[in-house]
Amino acid sequence: MTGSRHATVGIIGAGPAGLLLARLLHRSGIDCVVLEHRDRAYAERRQRAGILEQGTVDVLRACGAGERMDREGLVHDGIELRFDRRAHRLDLAALTGGRRVTVYAQTEIVKDLIALQLRSGPPLLFGAQALAVTDADTDRPRIRYLHKGRHHTLTCDYVIGCDGFHGITRSAVPEHARRTYERRYPYSWLGVLAHVPPSSDELVYAHSARGFALFSMRTPAVSRLYLQVPNGTDPADWPDDRIWDELEARAALDGAPDRKPARGPLTAKAVLPMRSSVTEPMRYGRILLAGDAAHIVPPTGAKGLNLAVADVTVLARALAHLHHTGSTALLDAYSATCLRRVWRAEHFSYVMTTTLHTAPDQSPFETRLQISQLDRIAASRHAAAELAENYAGLPLE
């Protein structure tokens, strides 16, 4: 059996990008349908980024999704860099005119947006597997999808792909019409969740000859920790004690033997590959890509989720402009507008990653260059401000 329907906008993927776009369109009076292959429980437990730029926080508040974030999120005015067994605090707020970051897990953003969507938003279909996107070069592209054992067709004015790099939308764009720029890094992250209070009030980025380490948090009672590991690492090869020993060694400071991470039970372990990717353009006919469907950044700069929010903010504004004025000017500029920010974030993430990590074949010369760059950030307000402005997030266009 089959069924068909029409919507102005069809959104594939109910991650933060797809859900936020649906919310913004709904508030502008634009009808849309969101299709999500997985069930609600899976969507709400996908572990991803948790560092929100000031602009992301502002957008979530403005669309009515900021109440719990403001109550439970952890606002940070700075970050700490550790290198050469020294510590330097970067005061984000002072260096950027008051811009801050907020620690609030992606899982919680998704829960908040789903709750809003189901209560007072356009249709959100879980378990709806997009099978194909067709007719992109016409004024009525179609999404064929499977839902509850039935085949359906959603005819749209525009199809928005928020379904990731391997999603159906990106692959629907002909290869001759897109170009993908990629870089793979020679290391990965071993990420763990620990039921122990964070060892620092702010994030700690640690450079050492043993490799990179990041001390983050999810809540005041749960730490999120990362270690640089070789590609292909099996988490089973890293028992709890080995992880804690390595975190302690990589963050060690001269003259501060007591500044060690508090230990506790580890409840999750996973290895995250590191890569960069940008697909250009972000539009083909009436197919538009957003978030991971268009670009991926290594997590060092905390840009992935924030770039997705920036994409859909620009896109929602462009679709609203079209809806209210009939002009496609902003929509025609969507790809170029977003790619300016994407490439800036890619460069920042690349610099953060290559400055803080130790490559497998790294020479002592290269290590001294890294230390020199970190010394420059610690000594120069101009260098520190450049890092702070990018980390806290550039203003949304």
CB 90 within 8 A of CB 384: yes
| Catalytic site residue from 198, 303, 334, 357 | 303
Q: Residue 52, class by beta-carbon neighbours within 10 Å (0-12 exposed, 13-18 middle, 19+ buried)?
A: buried
CB 62 within 8 A of CB 71: no
Q: Is 303 a catalytic residue?
A: yes
Single-letter amino acid, residue 193: L
Q: Is 187 a catalytic residue?
A: no
Q: Is 158 a catalytic residue?
A: no
CA-based nearest residue to 63, from 383, 260, 320, 294: 320
Q: Is 299 a catalytic residue?
A: yes
| Catalytic site residue from 122, 158, 299, 334 | 299
| Catalytic site residue from 16, 26, 37, 76 | 76
Q: Residue 272, class by beta-carbon neighbours within 10 Å (0-12 exposed, 13-18 middle, 19+ buried)?
A: middle
DSSP H helices, the chain, are 16-27, 40-43, 54-62, 67-72, 92-96, 106-120, 168-172, 240-250, 304-325, 329-332, 334-356, 364-379, 381-392
CA–CA dist 368, 358 (Å, integer) = 11
CA–CA dist 153, 133 (Å, integer) = 10
CA–CA dist 74, 62 (Å, integer) = 19
CB 14 within 8 A of CB 164: no
| Catalytic site residue from 205, 226, 284, 334 | 205
Residues serving a catalytic function are 76, 205, 299, 303, 391
